[in-house]
Amino acid sequence: MNTLRHRTTLLAAAGTALVLSLTACQSDGDGKSSSAPTTSATVASSPAAAASTAGKGTGTSDGTGSTGSTGSAGSAGSKGSAGATGERVSASTPVCTAKDVRVTAARQDGPPYTHIVLTAKNTTRHSCRLTGFPHIQFLESHKQDVPAVAKSKPATPVVLTAGAPAYALVKLSDGGVDENNEPVSAFSVMLDGDSTVIAVTAPGSDGIAVDPAKALTGYWTPELRNGADDF
């Protein structure tokens, strides 16, 4: 009996120890599990901070992006294209019209005065192309334009910058006393591509003597070609 009681006491003590041990284990486990969420929360807060930092970084990259876009300054590109747009304007310079130029006449060589020089000066602030030759009519009774001398045609188009002149040499007659010359104090000139009639005063107090059958004109050129056309 004593032995049985002793065993029972031991078993009871062992059971109590086991219960206490299990309780301690559960407590430890709970502590660990409760610390785990704490650790987990700490870890979770770290990514949040990282996310916040990343967000700020994104903002910075956005700022950089906007700076990049400003730097890309597509605007600079557009300015370049404007520069390119400017090259296109230069390539497509408008044709000179009567309102763009002032046409005057002066004697050339002589006597006898067989030639005059027409000068067309750009009076605007922009460039224009002076194409072809002057379309001249000396007499009301002779409505046909004075023929042009083909070999006087310049190799490249004549572009007049603001204030720049161009010239055309014009033959009036052969200078013979027996020619059918007619006195001309003023005559009309038209430019290629413009139907506006420009009234030009003939040089000299007595005007000029023109033989309609012999009259010829050269093309507009940037420089006066004295004698080069031989007409």
Q: What is the pLDDT of residue 142?
A: 79
Query: How far is it, in rounded angstroms, from Cα 101 to Cα 119?
Result: 9
Quote the pLDDT of residue 105: 98
Give residue 225's pLDDT band: very low, low, confident or very high (50, 70, 90). Answer: confident
pLDDT tens-digit readout, 111-164: 888 999 999 999 999 999 999 999 999 998 878 899 999 999 998 889 999 999
pLDDT band at 179 (very low <50, low <70, confident <90, very high): confident
Please give the C-alpha separations between residue 43 and each of 36, 47, 52, 55, 199, in angstroms, as whole numbers.
10, 7, 14, 18, 95
Instruction: State the pLDDT at residue 161.
Output: 95
Q: Is the peptide bond before 147 cis (omega within 30 degrees of 0)?
A: no
Q: CA 110, CA 107: separation in Å to the nearest integer?
A: 8
- pTM of the shown model: 0.60
pLDDT digits (tens, 9 = 90+) for 45-88: 343 444 344 444 444 434 444 444 444 433 333 332 222 223 23
Residue 90's contacts (CB-CB under 8 Å, 6 or more residues apart) are 127
